[in-house]
Structures are given as structure tokens and as C-alpha cells.
Amino acid sequence: MKKVLIFILIIQACFALAQQDSLNRELVKNNRYFSFIYDNDFFSATDRYYTQGVIVELVMPFIKKSPFSKTLIGLNKKAQNYYGLRFEQDCFTPISIRIDTLNRLERPYTGTFVMRHFLTSIDPLIKTRLATQLDIGIIGPCAKCEEEQKGIHKGLDNIAPLGWENQLSQDVVLNYNVSFEKGISSHKYLELIAFADARAGTLYDDAGGGLHLRFGKMNSYFKHLGVIKNAQENKLQLYFTVKAKGKAVGYNATLQGGPFSNSIHTIAADKVTRGVFSSYFSVVLNYKRLSIEYARTYLTKEFETGVDHGWGRCNITVCF
């Protein structure tokens, strides 16, 4: 009798795991995401350093079939795996765009454009997220940051940016990035999460970690990507997030130039700040399949003769 009872319990456990795995696959299959993200230091009333970022992101099941997706790592067989593509242009300038002469104590002009294959793997049971990302792209004039910034300033009848002829020269971007997050404390209106991340390649080499606090009316951070197609989950959410992070910097190509480039102006390695702190605050409104976020980021100086910096972010995500 005892053996029969154990056998029944094993069968029930296997059935529950199979059912949960089926639900996870269905959850990922039926939820597709499109995000448009815009960063600009205009929100901080400045026009320097990381001055603008334009990001388009798509999460779709078919992206798993890309050969680059084979380089990405998931958590386990029970995890919800979201494969995506991200196209990102980041633009950087010195502290002033009104000077056309080369200032070797200042951040160089540069732009980057990358295509990112990424996998976000979530395990709701043990409250963990693993994100792995492969970046392929370019740094330098082909990123078209010069033309874009000049076009925006002209359209706004603002002063033309000077000094772009001194920007970093062309180089290749190939980076691999990993981020791991673990829930520490979880309540109905409050979540505390610890995270660690690392980047390695021709663009960024660094590692860091910190804490992520969420509070308000919200779904669990480890339930899905934020909004969901399922009508039962389409309730109004309004919450806030606060992140604090410390980072150790090994190499930053937007300051030091690419490893194969021959730029006329870069920040010397001994002038790069090796310890950097950042903070992130946002307010998020989710309703049905739509999510809107406004965020502010603060970053301590990245090189000895630089200053602290901040920018704003607008993020619109649609689940379909």
C-alpha cells in the first residue's frame, strides 16, 4: 500500500510539472512585445556625454530560430524564455557642443549602433531572471549620430553642434552581456531584488551589481515581462522602481576608442574612472496590453576630468 501511495504521489508531481511547463510554453507563445525607448539628457536640462539613445525592441518566438540565439543561455527547462531583437543607437558628446577645437581633457564625440540578440529567462518558482545578450554593430561615423544630432538641432532652430569632425574612428562592436537577478523579498505591494551583471567584448568590459526596489500596485517581477495578452492579467498597474548599482570598469570604447581604431582623440586608460556608481528611478503605468514608463538615471563621472551626468527615458511597450 505504501509503495502504491508513493507511486501516485510521483505521478501527481510529474503531472503538475508537465502542466506548469505547458503553461509556461503557452505564456511565452501567446505574448509578443514591441518596445520603443528614447533616452535624452534634455530631460536633465543638459546636452552632453550620453546625450541621446534610440532603441527599438521586439520579442517574438520565431527569433529563437536565429543562429545567433544558440549563443544565449536560459535558466532551466521550466523557465519562461523570451527571445528578442534590439536595435540601439547611442550618441555621446563632450561637455559642450559649442566648441569646434579639440579638447583632449573632454569626452570624445562618438556614436554606436548595435543589433542585440537577447534571451530573458524567468523562473517564477524560485524568483530568478537570467538575461544573456549578444551585441553586433559598429562604433564611429557609420552610427550616424553626427547627422542625427545636427538634423534635430536644425529642426528645432537650435545652435549647430560643433566638433563632430573629431569623433572616434570606425570600429567593430562585438559584445556578450550577462545579467542575473534574484528576488530577496516579495510582498503584494513591495519587492526587493538583488542583481549582478557583466559585459565583455570590444565595446564594454565591466562588471557590477546592486539592488532593485519595486513598490506600488503591480504584478510580480518574476511572473512575465510586465504586460500580458491574457485578459485576466489586464488590470491597471501603477508602481515605482528604484535601482542602485556599483560597477567596476575595465574598458569603455566610447571613451578609449575601439581596439582596432586609430582615433585622433581618446581618453587615456589611466584617466578612466574604474569605479562608477549609478541610480535609476522610474514610474510605470500598465493597463491591459500597454506599458508606459518614465525614468531618470544618474551616473557618476566616467573619467577623471569629467563630471557627473544624468538623463531621462521614455519607454512604451505593447504586448500583442
pLDDT at residue 24 in the model: 52
- Structural contact between residues 91 and 149, judged by C-beta atoms closer than 8 angstroms: yes
Is residue 7 included in any domain, yes or no? no
Cα four-point dihedral sign 227, 233, 237, 243 = negative
What cell does 37 get? 525607448
Is 228 in contact with 319 (CB distance < 8 Å)? yes
pLDDT in tens, 252-300: 999 999 999 899 999 999 999 999 999 999 999 999 899 999 999 999 9
| CATH code for the domain of 197 | 2.40.128.140
Number of domains comprising the chain: 1
294 burial class (0-12, 13-18, 19+ CB within 10 angstroms)? Answer: middle
Show the cell assigned to 317. Answer: 511597450
21 falls within a domain: no
pLDDT over 70 for what percent of the chain?
A: 89
pLDDT at 8: 44
Mean residue pLDDT across the chain: 90
DSSP string over the chain:
-HHHHHHHHHHHHHHHHHHHHHHHHHHHHT--EEEEEEEEGGGGT---EEEEEEEEEEE-GGGGGSGGGGG---S-TTSEEEEEEEEEEEEEE-S-SS--S--TTSPPPEEEEEEEEEEEEEETTTTEEEEEEEEEEEESGGG-HHHHHHHHHHHTT-PPP--GGGPPPPEEEEEEEEEEEEEEEE-SSEEEEEEEEEEEESSEEEEEEEEEEEEEE---TTTSSS--S-GGG---EEEEEEEEEEEEEEEEHHHH--TT---S----GGGB-SEEEEEEEEEEEEETTEEEEEEEEEE--SBTT---EEEEEEEEEEE-
Compute the chain's Rg from CA coordinates: 22
Q: Write the CA distances from 91 to 48, 53, 194, 287, integer angstroms.
A: 10, 6, 30, 32
| pLDDT digits 0-9 by tens, 128-187 | 999 999 999 999 999 999 999 999 888 888 888 899 999 999 999 999 999 999 999 999
Full-model pTM: 0.89
Tell me if 4 is assigned to some domain: no
Alpha-carbon distance of 122 to 65, in angstroms, equals 19
Determine, yes or no, domain membership for 1: no
Percentage of the chain exceeding pLDDT 90:
76
Amino acid at 307: V
- Closest CA relative to residue 114, chosen from 224, 46, 199: 199
Range of the domain at 142: 29-319
Residue 284 forms part of a structural domain: yes
Length of the chain: 320
Is 5 part of a structural domain of the chain? no
pLDDT tens-place string over residues 77-127: 889 999 999 999 999 999 999 888 888 899 999 999 999 999 999 999 999
> Quick check: is 2 in a domain?
no
Q: Has residue 245 been placed in a domain? A: yes
